[in-house]
Amino acid sequence: MEKVYIAFAAALAVGLPAIATAWAQSRIGAAGSGTLAEKPELTGTIIILVAIPETMVILGFVVASMILLM
């Protein structure tokens, strides 16, 4: 049973930030697409902005790995 709890905790640790990242990226992506239509020279900045929330899911992944491995 303990294994189930550990797996569930790991899944939550990576799943919730993944949802949060997806939500943030959807908002930034939509705004970024609008921006690019008017100012294509901001491509680099938009890529950076879209990529920033990914840190959340990466941190979630780290926590999930720690839960599973330690």
Partner 1 sequence: MIIRMAKVDIVGPKDDLMATLELLRGKGVFQPDPELLNLSRDDVPRALSSLILDENELRERSYFADLQERIRSLLDLFPKMTGEVSALQPLPVIDLLDELSERHLSEVSSLVERLREEGEQIDGLQQDLQFWSLLEPLYAKLPEHSNLELFGVTIRRPEDLPALERELLQRSHGRCQLSTATIEDGSLVGLIATDRSTADVLRGALDDVRVPERRLPEEFIGLPLPDRVASLRRRLSEKQQEHKSVEERLERLSTEWRPVYVRAEAWLTERLALYGATAAAYATRHCFVIDGWMAAAQVPVIEQQLAEVFRGRVMLQQLEILEEDIARVPVALRNPTYFAPFEIFSRLLPLPKYSSFDPTPFIGLFFPVLFGMILGDVGYGLVIAFLAAYLAKRMSHRPVICNLGKVLGIAAVYTMLFGLLYGELFGNLGEIWLDMHPLWIDRAKALLPMTVFVLSVGTMHVLFGLLLGAWSALRHQQRREGVFRLVMVLLVVLVILFGIGHFFPQPWLATGPLLVMIAILLPVLVAAGGLLAPLELLKTFGNIISYVRIMAIGLSSVLLAVVANRLGGLTGNLLTGILVAGVLHGFNLLLGLFAPTVHGLRLHYVEFFSKFLDLGGRRFEPWGRKPP
Q: Which residue ranges make up the site for partner 1 (CB under 8 A)? A: 43-44, 47-48, 51-52, 54-55, 58-59, 61-62, 65, 69
State CA 40 to chain mean position distance: 25
Nearer to partner 1, 30 or 52 (CB): 52
Q: Residue 46: helix, strand or coil by DSSP?
A: helix
Residue 30 CB, nearest approach to partner 1 (Å): 18
Nearer to partner 1, 12 or 49 (CB): 49
| CA pair distance 25, 36, nearest whole angstrom | 15
Amino acid at 1: M
